[in-house]
Structure 1
């Protein structure tokens, strides 16, 4: 499948156009320059042609470490894409960086069109004429925000985009979606880069480098995955003070909702802290199985003793989890990084498992035989039957005469019996109680 890269200097509207072509808000958009850092991709379609759209970091010449890493990502995108949209700002006119990017495209023999953005009306189209000075035969005055003339731009691109010899599928169907999460600077992007064997995501020692939720398709063994890199999660009170970090938090919530399994990274050198526990608890409460990855293990001394202390800490602070896989790994050296996929494959099998109603009711009867629910305010509680109403995560409904009176400790007891008979090792189980005769939701 062909790739169309959207490139240009910072804050010319690349992410706005990317979101318009994708049909949804994927990339973070803000008036602040340099918001997009990693490459973000999405499959789009125009005139019956399917292609990948790539949003890139804005080209800049500043020397800060993050800016340098962004430029490396920009140069990678120059190698990967088959066609380019060079976006410029019509209101500001020709900028030296526009000319530099145009020159890079020409030097690389790349096919491209120039989209003059922020032309919101026909009366403003004369602003686009300035860009002919860059030696361009044709420019497209557009408004990425309002969609003005975007159809003409895409018609031109499709007419010039080379045909695919064999179309590659970028479908998410049948793929296990792994969200890589944790607090800032625990090595999330480094881990994904290690899996991919390339510096796909920006990595620095500065916390908060990743802002968007970045999806990458990946295959390991006989299984296909979607790897989702996310912003490091700090306290909401801190993140919400910065509007870009706030967007990153919402992207994290959205990514969590569409993931199957959460790969939660912990800094092995620093240990399990309060922020780690909160991120892990939020992922578990969202119904996602957890793989605990103790990263940076190569930097830990006296590993045997440190591992014992880490496991004891996990058992004490993460008691709400159900026997999660714990992997001591290093994204830097590559140690044990692929064991994560073995754990994910096993968890996914349990995560998608369904239990027949007959079997579920036999287990409910076993629970009642072992321990009847207590009498509440002189009323004997009766549990009539149980059924699994959903998977991913597994959800069970019990119909009772007084569902609101069933104590959470008895619900936990029933969940433990379900685990005893059906496994669901490492999987969050949701249990709901309803009045008999009340409609159950699938």
Structure 2
């Protein structure tokens, strides 16, 4: 697929333009330089053509470890993309870093469009003459915030895409959200799968701030891998505006995913923060595959694995027979075994049960545990049907829906699991008045 990279120095509006093209807020945006650290990607469609868009970390020359990693991300993006959008701040004027990046792209022979941002009115277009010295044929004056001239820029981009272009259909991809508290190895796991330093990995907790989407294929199955920011206590994260954005973006990512890969530091065991992160996924009705990372640092792995399984049963009772994998992202041990667990869970997640078989379960439930009397009339269940998959969703028609106690609801769900499995998958059940089909 044709790839387009948004490049430039920090704080010129790259992430704002990325979000504008995507049509939704994916990248975190803020006036603070250096907010974007990892390379983000999104499939964009304009007219009848599609292209893959990259948002990159701003090019900087500072020496700290994060900045160096961000520079490496920048260089990798330049090598991979078919078209570069060199973005600059028209209000600030030509900056030495703009000239450095422009020179770099010219030496690499990259097809480049110069995009001057923050041109909020036609009068400002007269003040951009200094940028012509960069020597690019195509210059677009836009406002990413207000959408000015964005359509014209998209027209130009798609005009450069060959007519015969195979697009990626995201609907056939399994979306995996990699979740967990900070510094458990989420980004290291993603890089181990991709066998490249695609996501910045350092020992500084909270390095990943955005949700990073990467398309990936393994054993002929297509995935979208989403690395999320580590989730800490709200009282801590909400003190930092950027971390607060990252928290809510992570929650959105869980909802948008098919399956969550919950990464836990095996050397620490299951802590309260792990439980809360996993509970968020469960509340969103998303299956969870439990991945205990850093297994290369564990002593007596046989006995310890049995202890961790007992801890799962004790501390994560709300999960039903979850898939558990012990891995080392550092050494690569068992990292691809995760996908076998994902396949198992996805099959359960997509399972559909015939109505006749569900009604056999409903009749059995009433035989084993007679429903209570409500308003001098016994609670009567008429029939049950499955109305959805991913997540599996059931509707039971009853004479008094509001009178069904949660314990009887749980009793029916447990019978469904005993008969049909749904291991590792949250189930939803709704009770409706007979004749009410939710219309």
Q: TM-score, normalised by structure 2?
A: 0.96
After superposition, give the CA deviation of every residue in 1:177-230 in whole Å (9 maximum; x if it has no partner). 111101111111111111111111111111111121121111111211111111
Distance 1:57 1:416, change over 3 A: same
Per-residue deviation, 1:15: 1.0
Give secondary structure in 1 for the equivalent of 2:52.
Answer: strand
Structure 1 residue aligned with 2:282: 284
Q: How does 1:119-198 map to 2 (within 5 A)?
A: 119-159=119-159, 161=160, 163=162, 167-198=165-196
Give secondary structure in 2 for the equivalent of 1:54.
Answer: strand
8 A contact 2:112–2:136 mirrored in 1: no
Structure 1 residue aligned with 2:345: 347
Instruction: Work out the CA distance in 2 between the residues paired with 1:396 and 1:61.
Output: 57
After superposition, give the CA deviation of every residue in 1:131-160 in whole Å (9 maximum; x if it has no partner). 12333455322211122223333344444x
Structure 1 residue aligned with 2:60: 60
8 A contact 2:50–2:167 mirrored in 1: no
Instruction: Give the stretch that moved more between structures: 255-264 or 297-306.
Output: 297-306
Structure 2 residue aligned with 1:11: 11
Per-residue deviation, 1:438: 2.3
8 A contact 1:185–1:232 mirrored in 2: yes
After superposition, give the CA deviation of every residue in 1:371-393 in whole Å (9 maximum; x if it has no partner). 11234575422212111111111
Per-residue deviation, 1:271: 1.1
Distance 1:151 1:429, change over 3 A: closer
Structure 2 residue aligned with 1:390: 388
Instruction: Work out the CA distance in 2 between the residues paired with 1:11 and 1:421.
Output: 56
8 A contact 2:5–2:55 mirrored in 1: yes
Give secondary structure in 2 for the equivalent of 1:173.
Answer: helix
Structure 2 residue aligned with 1:406: 404
Give secondary structure in 2 for the equivalent of 1:404.
Answer: helix
Distance 1:97 1:419, change over 3 A: same
Q: How does 1:4-153 map to 2 (within 5 A)?
A: 4-153=4-153
Structure 1 residue aligned with 2:324: 326
Instruction: Work out the CA distance in 2 between the residues paired with 1:118 and 1:289.
Output: 43
Instruction: Work out the CA distance in 2 between the residues paired with 1:169 and 1:367.
Output: 49
Q: TM-score, normalised by structure 1?
A: 0.95
Instruction: Work out the CA distance in 2 between the residues paired with 1:157 and 1:368.
Output: 63
Per-residue deviation, 1:406: 2.1
Structure 2 residue aligned with 1:203: 201
Structure 2 residue aligned with 1:258: 256
**Equivalent residues, number:** 439
8 A contact 1:132–1:138 mirrored in 2: no
8 A contact 1:117–1:143 mirrored in 2: yes
Instruction: Give the stretch that moved more between structures: 8-17 or 122-131.
Output: 122-131
Per-residue deviation, 1:262: 0.8
After superposition, give the CA deviation of every residue in 1:44-65 in whole Å (9 maximum; x if it has no partner). 2345332111111100111121
Q: Which runs of 5+ in 1 are unaligned?
A: none
Instruction: Give the stretch that moved more between structures: 397-406 or 363-372.
Output: 397-406
Per-residue deviation, 1:329: 0.4
8 A contact 1:128–1:139 mirrored in 2: no
Instruction: Give the stretch that moved more between structures: 124-133 or 274-283.
Output: 124-133
Instruction: Give the stretch that moved more between structures: 19-28 or 282-291.
Output: 19-28
Structure 2 residue aligned with 1:302: 300
Instruction: Work out the CA distance in 1 between the residues paired with 2:232 and 2:434.
Output: 43
Per-residue deviation, 1:257: 1.3
Per-residue deviation, 1:253: 1.7
Per-residue deviation, 1:26: 1.6
